[in-house]
Amino acid sequence: MRNLKHRKSRERGSALIEIAVSYGVLVTIAVLTLKASVNASTAQMWTVKQAMTDAFVTRESALASRYPFDEVTGDSSLWALYPSTSASTVTVGKLPGGAEVTAKLYRTRIPDSNNLPSAGGSGTSTTNPGGTEAWKLQSVLAYTVGDKEYVKTRTTLRTR
């Protein structure tokens, strides 16, 4: 009778160990699955932010191409005269859930060296008889994904 009681309590104890091991394996599988899905969403976040910033710098190139020339070279230009830069924080898009993606936008304009002195160059009426002007409009977008910083730049040449 005594052996039978001892045997039943041992069986109950082994069932408890089996349940604990099963629970441990289940938790381990759940943690690994969670880690895999976080890794997948991190890669997806990088792709989404790259697409957003590509679209923003494309828009910036279009703006530089279509901005009125007198305003490009004026004192209130969006593009500061090199070596100065104008800097602003811009929103390049929103992530699912409404979180904004922001970046720092730097702009500068560089006169062509053959521009006449009145247009920021060192050209003369001999080297530039038509009095043409050429400007490089450069836009630089700096943004982060995770703990890494990325930079995209677009340069547009404007002449008149």
- Judged against a pLDDT cut of 70, whether residue 143 lies above it is answered with yes
Could you state, in order of their start, the residue ranges of all structural domains in the chain?
2-159
Tokens representing 123 are 């050209």
pLDDT tens-digit map of 108-120: 999 998 888 888 8
pLDDT tens-digit map of 25-81: 888 888 888 877 666 565 577 888 889 999 999 999 999 999 998 898 888 899 999
- With b for 16 or more beta-carbon neighbours within 10 A and e for fewer, the 94-126 pattern comes to eeeeeeebebebbbbbbbbeebbeebbbebeee
Per DSSP, 117 falls in state: G
- Judged against a pLDDT cut of 90, whether residue 13 lies above it is answered with no
Average model confidence (pLDDT) for the chain? 85
Q: How far apart are CA 139 and CA 141, in angstroms?
A: 7
Query: Rounded to two decimals, what is the model's pTM?
Result: 0.71
- Judged against a pLDDT cut of 70, whether residue 7 lies above it is answered with no
Of 42-51, 77-86, 125-134, minimum mean pLDDT range: 42-51
